[in-house]
Amino acid sequence: MYLRKPRLVPTVLAAIALLPLTVGAQQAQTAQQENEEPTIKVDVDVVNVLFSVRDRKGALVPGLSKEDFIVSEEGKPQEIKFFARETDLPLTIGLLVDVSRSQENLIETERRAALQFFSNVLKEKDMAFLISFGTDTELLQDFTNSTTLLRKGLEGLRVQASPYVPGILNPGPIPSNPRGTVLFEAIYLAAEEKLRREVGRKAIIVITDGVDVGSRIKMSEAMEAAHKSDAIVYSILFSDPRYGGSDSDLKRISEDTGGRVFKVSKKQTLDDIFKQIEMEMRSQYAIGYTPAKPTGDGGFRRIEIKTRDKDLRVQARKGYYATSGRP
């Protein structure tokens, strides 16, 4: 399992092991000192969480203050040590595009809309990378701020399909675990290989029909990797009517990490969805608190953020992993 890098030796994951974050923590501290504002990550002493707030109609709610929020961890109230709204911290985006056979007629639309999104959202300090996934995962463009390079990467989107998948090429013996769309692997690799040691705001945007066929990574492992990289996952369900799709797995991964699922339809185009994601990422709040429970036990700790106004809804990650070197 690896990300194939153009003109570079492939990066092979020998095992599904989690690496220490010592270097990442040092980088985060340096960035914080230089920018004079905290990075959005789980640090040794402070848990930082990015989130959005919406009203009953689904509109984003700006202008709230620290006093408007209540934070709890494992059901116990926490004192808010840091609060910021509409933070301008650097943004790192990983765009993951499904190029399995079922997406063949959608790729051109995805290519055009994604380029427009990158052109609109990327600022001077922001970075993005591009991964395609079908029967395998491929890194089409590594971290860059250049829309020219991202355009070239998007031009590399090509259909990947196993000849052994039912209904595809050369019918014959079907392996017990055919590789058709390795969705969970793509999310895992984006989080673990690319985002784990980055600082600032991090988001994974996945365009897919939501069907995983043959990943060697479980959904729970992909979700855990997203949590440990502090990345918000936004899923875009875009499916060819001839094949259909499912948002059940996407909904769980996205909502658990503080994102949500969008569905492309006649009333909501891919361009519309990208604009909504852009607006949401630029209208986030950040809260930081020091957990009372000793750190480093490796367990998953549930977080809940509420507003005192019961008509408002908070969209935030459901928790974090208290791994070594971080709460």
Q: Decide which of 219 and 88 is more confident.
A: 219
Q: Which of 203, 197, 253, 237 is nearest to 51 (CA)?
A: 203
Give the pLDDT confidence score for residue 320 in this predicted structure: 93
Give the residue-averaged pLDDT of 101-126.
94
Contact 155, 147 (CB under 8 A): no
Q: Which of 138, 143, 136 is nearest to 118 (CA)?
A: 143
Query: In this prediction, what percent of the chain has a pLDDT beyond 70?
Result: 78
Q: How confident is the model at residue 107 (pLDDT cuts 50, 70, 90)?
A: very high
Phi, psi dihedral angles at 282 (to 5 degrees): -90, 0
Structure tokens at 135: 């029967």
Give the pLDDT confidence score for residue 322 in this predicted structure: 87
pLDDT in tens, 172-215: 343 444 677 999 999 999 999 999 999 889 999 999 999 999 89
Structure tokens at 115: 């380029």
Instruction: State the Cα–Cα distance between residues 97 and 111, nearest whole angstrom.
Output: 9
Is pLDDT at 42 greater than 60 in this prediction?
no
Name the least confident of 43-47, 214-218, 318-322.
Answer: 43-47
Given the structure tokens 């709204």, which residue do they identify?
A: 85
Burial of 178 (0-12, 13-18, 19+ CB in 10 A): middle
Give the residue-averaged pLDDT of 105-109.
95
CA 321 centroid distance within chain: 16
Instruction: State the Cα–Cα distance between residues 98 and 109, nearest whole angstrom.
Output: 12
Give the residue-averaged pLDDT of 269-292.
92
Give the pLDDT confidence score for residue 163 in this predicted structure: 52
Q: How confident is the model at residue 160 (pLDDT cuts 50, 70, 90)?
A: confident
Q: Can you give the residue ranges of every domain in the chain?
A: 2-8+89-281
Instruction: State the Cα–Cα distance between residues 297 and 327, nearest whole angstrom.
Output: 8
Is pLDDT at 144 greater than 70 in this prediction?
yes
pLDDT in tens, 238-262: 999 999 899 999 999 999 999 999 9
Is pLDDT at 30 greater than 60 in this prediction?
no
Give the pLDDT confidence score for residue 106 in this predicted structure: 96
Contact 244, 209 (CB under 8 A): yes
Is pLDDT at 86 greater than 50 in this prediction?
yes
Is pLDDT at 272 greater than 90 in this prediction?
yes
Question: What are the residue ranges of helices labelled H in the chain?
Answer: 22-35, 107-121, 147-155, 183-189, 219-228, 248-256, 270-281
Give the pLDDT confidence score for residue 284 in this predicted structure: 92
Is pLDDT at 41 greater than 80 in this prediction?
no
Give the residue-averaged pLDDT of 2-24.
36
> What's 2-8+89-281's CATH class?
alpha beta
Give the pLDDT confidence score for residue 3 in this predicted structure: 56
Q: What is the mean pLDDT of the chain?
A: 83
Give the pLDDT confidence score for residue 171 in this predicted structure: 37
pLDDT in tens, 44-82: 468 999 999 999 999 999 999 999 999 999 999 999 999
Q: Which of 142, 145, 224 is nearest to 188 (CA)?
A: 224
Is pLDDT at 15 greater than 60 in this prediction?
no
Give the pLDDT confidence score for residue 323 in this predicted structure: 75
Give the pLDDT confidence score for residue 33 in this predicted structure: 43
Burial of 307 (0-12, 13-18, 19+ CB in 10 A): middle
